[in-house]
Amino acid sequence: MTRNELPAHWAARFFTIWTGQAFSLFGSMLVQFALVWWLTKTTGSATVLALATMVALLPQVFLGPFAGALVDRWSRRMVMIVADSVIALTMVVLVALAAAGAMQVGHVFAVMFVRAVGGVFHWAAMQASTSLMVPEQHLARVAGLNQTLNGALQIVAPPVGAILWGILPLYSILAIDVATALLAVLPLLFIPIPQPTVHRRAGAPSSLIQEVGEGLRYIWQRPGVRSLLLMATVINFTINPGFALMPILVTRHFGKGALELGWMESAWGIGVVTGGLILSGWGGFRRRILTTLMGLVGMGIGVLVLGVVPPAGFFIALVAMFLAGVMNPITNGPVFAIIQARVRPELQGRIFTAISSIAGAMMPLGTLIAGPVADRLGVQVWFLVGGAVCMLMGAASFFIPAIVYMEDQMATVTSALPELT
């Protein structure tokens, strides 16, 4: 199926699946908050939190390109069903351990790893399917809507998680994720997801490694995409460790507790909702990458403020989190829309996961270093450095033609690519 063959009732199909995914995402965020807070209260170690984040990042970095190639081969609908089901079964095991009082840090790490593997496949399948379920003129708005959903759930999930932490046993909170995962699977059992039309050239190779290589070559042939990925790698190395250690910033620097951690995450979420609504209604600049660069500068300013705010400035930190949250969908949404609009549908699984893997390649190293550095120098150093790097790179990119005209390059080179095998 192509973008031009969408049925008239595309919205009913897409948003039924989208709603199920929204419930699943809420359960995941709720449980993520509970697990992170459990690790914080159980160990009190920035290093443990950094290691937990690294465990969740490794599948994205190392499995991403292969997962994308497999998603382009397999039924994307079945990939999402299996991924959600495996995640649910994993949580059933953790629920049983928590109910028996036998849950250990190692168990949490193992569950985070399995969930991350399932998430890599699920995310690639959903992103690659969107371009064949949504008309091209609505892709940027759907990207903004997705960012709005993430923000809304980040507003709701942390405070709800903090409240449930005080009134329910941990195993009951974890069980919520099982129920919401089933809600995500249910629509997929009845609603078909279109598969891309794959054009095969006689005699051309078709091994998994070669298909992964094709996705990497697509990126390498476009200087603008390469430059943007280099920036994303540096920014992820410097910013993500700080956000992974947010519980330590709240408890050590501000002297606050679970409720205030929820407020911080909700401030980010309110910002993401605001930014997502802005992007959904506005659609961004005609040259979509300029919207992304503007968002990078604004997000860097917000993160930089978190690096300098004093212990008595918790309200200022909330405002900074809100600003960074507003700029997050304005930064990311246009990039998703560019890929969905310019990359052939049968390549999108590989492109999305390759970009995600390359951009996140330095995140495990940064996270591994972040814990010991934060234990010695304080967690604020990561926000200070990360915010400055993000702001300066975003501003400098306005003067780099390869980045500014990236979308034009993608449109030009795409037609010259060989047919898939």
User: pLDDT tens for residues 57-106?
Assistant: 777 777 777 777 777 778 888 888 998 899 889 989 999 998 888 888 88
How many DSSP H helices and E strands does the chain contain?
Answer: 17, 0
pLDDT digits over 347-365, tens only? 767 777 777 777 777 777 7
The tokens of 48 are what? 């443990």
CA distance 224 to 185: 37
The per-residue DSSP string of 149-161 comes to HHHHHHHHHHHHH
Query: Which of 40, 44, 28 is closest to 258 using CA atoms?
Result: 40
Q: Over 50: is that where the pLDDT of 421 sits?
A: no
- Please check whether residue 275 is in contact with residue 151, taking contact to mean a CB–CB distance below 8 angstroms: yes
pLDDT at position 413 is 46
Percent of the chain at pLDDT above 70?
90
Answer yes or no: are the C-beta atoms of 59 and 341 closer than 8 Å. no
CB distance 150 to 326 below 8 Å: no
Average pLDDT in the 239-259 region? 82
Tens digit of pLDDT for each residue in 207-243?
A: 667 767 777 787 788 887 888 888 888 888 888 777 8
Band of pLDDT at residue 6, cut at 50, 70 and 90: low
Structure tokens at 343: 């990359």
Nearest to 33 by CA among 162, 199, 212, 130: 162
Q: Which pLDDT value is given to residue 419?
A: 32
| Number of residues that this document lists for the chain | 421
For the cut 50, the answer to whether the pLDDT of residue 30 exceeds it is yes
Encoded tokens for 281: 């209604």
pLDDT given for residue 203 in this prediction: 45
> Rounded to an integer, what distance in angstroms lies between the CA atom of residue 208 and that of residue 67?
10
CA distances from 391 to 80, 213, 232, 240, 298 (A): 36, 33, 12, 15, 7
How far is the C-alpha of 56 from the C-alpha of 118, rounded, in Å? 11
| Residue range 13-32: mean pLDDT, rounded | 85
What would the CATH number be for the domain defined by 13-185+211-414? 1.20.1250.20
pLDDT band at 320 (very low <50, low <70, confident <90, very high): very high
Lowest mean pLDDT among 2-6, 124-128, 277-281: 2-6
> What is the model's pLDDT at position 148?
75
Structure tokens at 327: 């700029």
Is pLDDT of 19 > 90? no
- The predicted pLDDT at position 57 comes to 73
Per DSSP, the three-state class of 188 is helix
> Which pLDDT band, with edges at 50, 70 and 90, does 324 fall under?
very high
Cα–Cα dist 245/84, whole Å: 27
**Burial state string for 233-263 with b = 16 or more CB within 10 A and e = fewer than 16:** bbbbbbbbbbbbbbbbbbbbbbebebebbbb
DSSP letter assigned to residue 405: T
Contact 47, 371 (CB under 8 A): yes
How deeply is 316 buried, as exposed, middle or buried, from its count of CB atoms within 10 A (0-12, 13-18, 19+)?
A: middle
CB 336 within 8 A of CB 124: no
DSSP 245-271: THHHIIIIIS---HHHHHHHHHHHHHH
What's the mean per-residue pLDDT of the chain?
A: 80
Nearest to 115 by CA among 150, 91, 79: 91
What is the CA angle 126-115-264, rounded to 5?
90
How far, CA to CA in Å, does 244 sit from each of 22, 139, 395, 414? 23, 30, 25, 37
Q: Which residue has the tokens 């999305």?
A: 352
pLDDT band of residue 202 (cuts 50, 70, 90) is very low
pLDDT at 420: 30
Give the dihedral of Cα atoms 174, 190, 128, 362; nearest 10 deg.
Answer: 10
Give me 111's structure tokens. Answer: 């569950």
| Region of poorest pLDDT, from 4-8, 43-47, 206-210, 281-285 | 4-8
pLDDT of 152 higher than 60:
yes
H helices present in 168-257, as ranges: 170-188, 208-220, 223-244, 246-248
Does residue 267 contact residue 322 with C-beta atoms inside 8 Å? yes
Element (H, E) at 62: helix 46-73
In the predicted model, what is the mean pLDDT of residues 284-294?
A: 87
